[in-house]
């Protein structure tokens, strides 16, 4: 199926299998590897991205469901070379352990911050 969306401000179109998960489309087709595959059950949140401004676990969403959407990954959070304030906070306070889940935690935190 043909899909089109905006990812980190860039228009993207692609032909995808209907069963392709958004996390795999982002990592494998778009080479945006900051979105991590963790549990693949929607439990851990390592795969969290923003779809139309809302936090979504991309391992539970099909790419075709994001057709026409605005998608932001961890790579799209910085602006003009400056980290997003939440990224900056994680960096300043060493808010990570191994770092694998950190992108998902940042994406969730930013979404929560925007909804307040």
Name 10's bridge partners.
Answer: 7
Tokens 């960096």 belong to: 91
Alpha-carbon span 2 to 71, nearest angstrom: 16
Using an 8 Å Cβ cutoff, are 25 and 18 in contact? no
pLDDT > 90: what percent of the chain?
75
Query: What average pLDDT score do residues 45-61 get?
Result: 95
pLDDT in tens, 38-48: 887 888 999 99
Alpha-carbon span 90 to 14, nearest angstrom: 34
CA dist list (Å): 88 to 82, 93, 111: 9, 9, 16
pLDDT at 71: 98
CA dist list (Å): 86 to 37, 96, 108, 115: 22, 13, 10, 14
**CATH number, domain with residue 91:** 3.10.20.30
Q: How is residue 58 annotated by DSSP?
A: T
Please state the domain count of the chain. Answer: 1
pLDDT at 73: 97
Alpha-carbon span 4 to 63, nearest angstrom: 10
- Does 38 or 73 have the greater pLDDT score? 73
Q: How confident is the model at residue 30 (pLDDT cuts 50, 70, 90)?
A: very high
Q: How confident is the model at residue 106 (pLDDT cuts 50, 70, 90)?
A: very high
Q: What is the pTM of this model?
A: 0.91
List the domain range (segments joined by +) for residue 61: 2-115
Q: Please check the confidence at residue 115 and state whether its pLDDT lies above 70.
A: no
Q: How confident is the model at residue 75 (pLDDT cuts 50, 70, 90)?
A: very high
């Amino acid at each position: 199926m043909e899909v089109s969306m905006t990812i980190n401000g860039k228009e993207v179109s692609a032909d995808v299998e209907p069963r392709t998960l958004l996390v795999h489309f982002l990592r494998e087709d778009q080479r945006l590897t900051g979105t991590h595959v963790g549990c693949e059950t929607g439990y851990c949140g390592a795969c969290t991205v923003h779809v139309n401004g809302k936090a979504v676990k991309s391992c539970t969403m099909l790419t075709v469901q994001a057709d026409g959407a605005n998608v932001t990954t961890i790579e799209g959070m910085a602006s003009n070379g400056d980290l997003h304030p939440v990224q900056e906070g994680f960096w300043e306070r060493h808010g990570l352990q191994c770092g694998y889940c950190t992108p998902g935690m940042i994406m969730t935190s930013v979404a929560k911050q925007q909804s307040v």
